[in-house]
Amino acid sequence: MDPRPTIDSGVFRQLMGRWATGVSVVTAREFEVDAGLTVNAFLSVSLAPPSVLVSLTREADTTPLIERSGRFAVSLLAADQRALSERFARAISPAEKFRDLPFHRGPHGLALLNGSLGALECRVVSHTPAYDHLLLLGEVVYQELGPGGSPLLFYRSGYGEARGEDTVRLPPPP
């Protein structure tokens, strides 16, 4: 069998769009400059030690900054933080991303977004190249729980949100 069968990239995109995720903002800091990007390729890896993985495109400005500084933070976005997800996904300067942003610093100096469901600071323990992405494994060095609430969701290339405990609003089908 052909080791690399032809996989239609449009169908693959559609298929991956059927995988519902939460949305996070990953932040980093180097030479007292903050940077960050919106990330949904985020998962917990192990409980002992507590560790997480993020998959970042090499094209993002934040990726080399995390490689150099060896640290990143993850803020888990609440349903009412869609505008922050959009802001951190834009190709704008870090200064614009952080302008008037309500955030506080964790004990390791990284920016944690106020109003998030929770946030982590991580020390990078490995970075593995994966095609045009970099898989960053981070050991959790600080964690905090926000006040709680509903999560922002990403599904079918659009935003959804939980409304209360029984209702989920999904983006319309394409």
Ligand X SMILES: Cc1cc2nc3c(=O)[nH]c(=O)nc-3n(C[C@H](O)[C@H](O)[C@H](O)COP(=O)(O)O)c2cc1C
Q: Give residues in contact with ligand X (CB under 6 A).
A: 23, 35, 37-41, 55-57, 60-62, 85, 88-91, 154
CA pair distance 111, 40, nearest whole angstrom: 18
State which residue, 4 or 35, has the beta carbon closest to ligand X: 35
Q: For CA atoms 157, 163, 166, 169, give the dihedral sign.
A: negative
Q: How far is the CB of 92 from ligand X (least distance, A)?
A: 7
State which residue, 3 or 25, has the beta carbon closest to ligand X: 25
State which residue, 107 or 173, has the beta carbon closest to ligand X: 173
State which residue, 5 or 134, has the beta carbon closest to ligand X: 134
Q: For CA atoms 109, 74, 144, 170, give the dihedral sign.
A: positive
Tokens representing residue 169 in the block = 């609003």
Q: How far is the CB of 23 from ligand X (least distance, A)?
A: 5
Q: How far is the CB of 167 from ligand X (least distance, A)?
A: 21
Tokens representing residue 16 in the block = 């991956």
Q: How far is the CB of 161 from ligand X (least distance, A)?
A: 13
Radius of gyration, CA atoms only, the chain: 17
Q: How far is the CB of 114 from ligand X (least distance, A)?
A: 20
Q: For CA atoms 40, 171, 131, 28, give the dihedral sign.
A: negative
Query: Which residues have a Cβ under 8 Å from the Cβ of 7 and sit 6 or more positions away?
Result: none
Query: Which residues have a Cβ under 8 Å from the Cβ of 170 and sit 6 or more positions away?
Result: 153, 155, 156, 158, 160
State which residue, 66 or 112, has the beta carbon closest to ligand X: 66
